[in-house]
Amino acid sequence: MHSVDTTAAIPALDDAPLVVGGITLASRLVVGTGKYATYAEMARCLGVSGTDCVTVAVRRERLINAAGENILDHLDAARYSLLPNTAGCYSADDAVRVARLGRELLRDMGSATSEWVKLEVLGDTKTLLPDPVGTLEATEKLVADGFSVLVYTSDDPVIAKRLKGLGAASVMPAGSPIGSGQGVLNANNLRICLEYLKDGDPAYPVIVDAGVGTASDVAFAMELGADGVLLNTAIAHAQDPVRMAAAMRAACQAGRLAFLAGRMPRRLYATASSPDDGRIVRPT
């Protein structure tokens, strides 16, 4: 049985909510809808994760078995903001095409996030690393076309700055390759991304997208000062996805709280927590 209530023990965050492209999100977790064993399991995981923003992909409607289930039958449109992606696109033009189809689907549904796109322009099939040139080109085109572009990118601070300069609604650096579960591999690059992107603009949303393997990866990204984390496989391919969804929710809140609280400085040597005064013995 899963009846984890991760909210009860956590005090009020006293925190401004995350706003992306004019939409206010209650949760700082964005969760993908791919790779779940069943739609029912997906729906339970999303609910337990506490997310109110989920990604979806745009694919050909099946010409056979067209009466089959659609993922939208299992996603409460009133509860979740839908963020369509351009996953599987390897050129700027392809990504723009797919983004426009996602927008049309959302407009047809009357969705408040119809102008949103999670832009992915991939460089190669083995790494799924972003193509920085294609990503810049597609960002420029989509912004000009009125999209709120949430852009998947590498942890390169220079590219991140360029993407923001082109008008991306959120820059989303990868912690490590998509679906790799390696967590945040280059914390220093992420720190620089955060510093550059938030310079004079502290509310600019930076979401760590991709690479999360387990809860501590989420907490770590949030402790660095990310505004949110986007993940999918870490929940969907956990041994117990529903329990992992609860862990991700708690980790996201814990990491955010720790960031807001401000961590103590690191020191090379120990400092005793118990007083020296009043000891009945002496150090040898």
Question: Is residue 179 at the binding interface for other proteins, with CB under 8 A as the rule?
Answer: yes
Question: Is residue 282 at the binding interface for other proteins, with CB under 8 A as the rule?
Answer: no
**In whole angstroms, what is the distance from residue 142 CA to residue 21 CA?**
13
Structural contact between residues 146 and 125, judged by C-beta atoms closer than 8 angstroms: no
Give catalytic status of residue 161 as yes or no.
no
Residues whose CB falls within 8 Å of the CB of residue 94, separated by 6 or more in sequence, listed in order: 86
- Residue closer to other proteins by CB (options 32, 213) is 32
Q: Say how many C-beta atoms besides its own lie within 10 A of residue 165's C-beta.
A: 11
Quick one: CA torsion of 244, 32, 214, 208, rounded to 10 degrees? -140
User: Which residues 201-260 are close enough to bind other proteins by CB under 8 A?
Assistant: 210, 230-233
Interface characters, 18-37, with other proteins (x: CB under 8 A): --------------xxxxx-
Residue 167: which of 194, 136, 192, 191 has the closest Cα? 136
Instruction: State the DSSP H helix or E strand holding residue 207, giving kind and residue range, or none if neither.
Output: strand 207-209
Instruction: State the DSSP H helix or E strand holding residue 234, giving kind and residue range, or none if neither.
Output: helix 233-236
Of 21-29, 49-57, 165-173, 241-249, which part binds other proteins (CB under 8 A)? 49-57
Least CB distance to other proteins at residue 251 (A) = 18
**In whole angstroms, what is the distance from residue 163 CA to residue 171 CA?**
7
Which one among 13, 16, 76, 107 touches other proteins, defined by CB under 8 A? Answer: 107
Interface characters, 70-89, with other proteins (x: CB under 8 A): xxx---------x-xx-x--
Least CB distance to other proteins at residue 280 (A) = 60
Q: Residue numbers of the site for other proteins (CB under 8 A)?
A: 32-36, 42, 55-61, 63, 66-67, 70-72, 82, 84-85, 87, 97, 100-105, 107-109, 178-179, 210, 230-233
Q: Which residues are catalytic?
A: 118
